[in-house]
Structure 1
Amino acid sequence: MAVTAVAAVSATTFAAQTVEPARPQTSSVAQLFGEPASSGDGARTVRITPQTQAVSVHAGETVRFDFGSTSAAWTFAARPGNTVVELASLLPDIPAAKGVWVHQNGSNAFAGH
């Protein structure tokens, strides 16, 4: 009888848990540049074509990258100075991101003015 009670409690506990949607895995390098965002959160959409070599973004900006058949969004961290990162480092699951460089204009929050 004790085993039945434990099983009932375990089943109830399991049923009450909510499952969060899986977020894309990001590398520790990618985390220095911000974090993945929902595609609907993008304030600006940038279309990436095979001819695209570079994209300029601002610190703190959320950008939706449209690759034609798929898209992904990224919120860029506020960082001092200007930085450059390959888009494939941020979105490793999207092959079309390879060879596209993101130029991030730094935030004035660290300027000391």
Structure 2
Amino acid sequence: MTFSASYVLPAAFSLAAFFSASPALAVTQMTVQEAARPSAYSHLFGTPADAKMATRTIELRGQNVVRVSSGETVAFSSGTRIGAWNFTPRADNTTVALSELLPAMPGGAQVYVLIERSPIYSGN
């Protein structure tokens, strides 16, 4: 069975029209809009938690860096507001802005959370 150019050429144009259609543009715009939202990547660092489940509470008093253990649940307080975060166990040390995790937390705009490496991944 052989294909003639009369079948191949129109099929190529049909595929080109399919791939250049506007739905691909809509998907790209939606991804950019989601990335522009505050806390778009917060799920990579854990999940919000109930303050009652926190192992400790850190009061925000103008410090720039707060250290937490990987896998720890920590409550952050600022004035009358309190918010908690359950940090995911991580294989490496990393930092994240507190405003990325808890955007409504007052006093958390300039605070970075240093998440220490989990002992699970230490190899010992």
Scaled by the length of structure 2, what TM-score is found? 0.65
| Deviation for aligned residue 1:111 | 3.0
Partner in structure 2 of residue 19 of structure 1: none
| Deviation for aligned residue 1:112 | 3.2
Q: Which runs of 5+ in 1 are unaligned?
A: 1-25
The answer to whether 1:56 aligns with 2:63 is no
Please give the per-residue CA displacement for 1:26-47, whole angstroms capped at 9, x wherever unaligned.
8341111111000111110100
Partner in structure 1 of residue 99 of structure 2: 88
Whether the 8 Å CA contact 2:93–2:115 is kept in 1: the answer is yes
Q: Which amino acid aligns with 1:54?
A: V
In the TM superposition, structure 1's runs of 4+ consecutive aligned residues that sit over 2 Å from their partners are: 110-113
Q: Which amino acid aligns with 2:55?
A: A
Q: Which runs of 5+ in 2 are unaligned?
A: 1-37
Rounded to whole Å, the distance in 2 between the matches of 1:31 and 1:68 is 26
Rounded to whole Å, the distance in 1 between the matches of 2:39 and 2:60 is 22
The answer to whether 1:46 aligns with 2:62 is no
Q: Which amino acid aligns with 1:30?
A: S
Q: Match for 1:111 among 115, 118, 122?
A: 122
Secondary structure, aligned partner of 1:72: strand
Aligned length: 87
Partner in structure 2 of residue 36 of structure 1: 48
Please give the per-residue CA displacement for 1:35-65, whole angstroms capped at 9, x wherever unaligned.
100011111010001x211100000100010
Q: Which amino acid aligns with 1:48?
A: L
Q: Kindly report the root-mean-square deviation, in angstroms, between the aligned alpha carbons of the 2 structures.
A: 1.4
Q: Which amino acid aligns with 2:70?
A: A
Q: Percent identity?
A: 37
Q: Which amino acid aligns with 1:86?
A: A
| Greater C-alpha radius of gyration | 2
Rounded to whole Å, the distance in 2 between the matches of 1:107 and 1:61 is 10
Q: Which amino acid aligns with 1:36?
A: P
Q: Which amino acid aligns with 2:44?
A: L
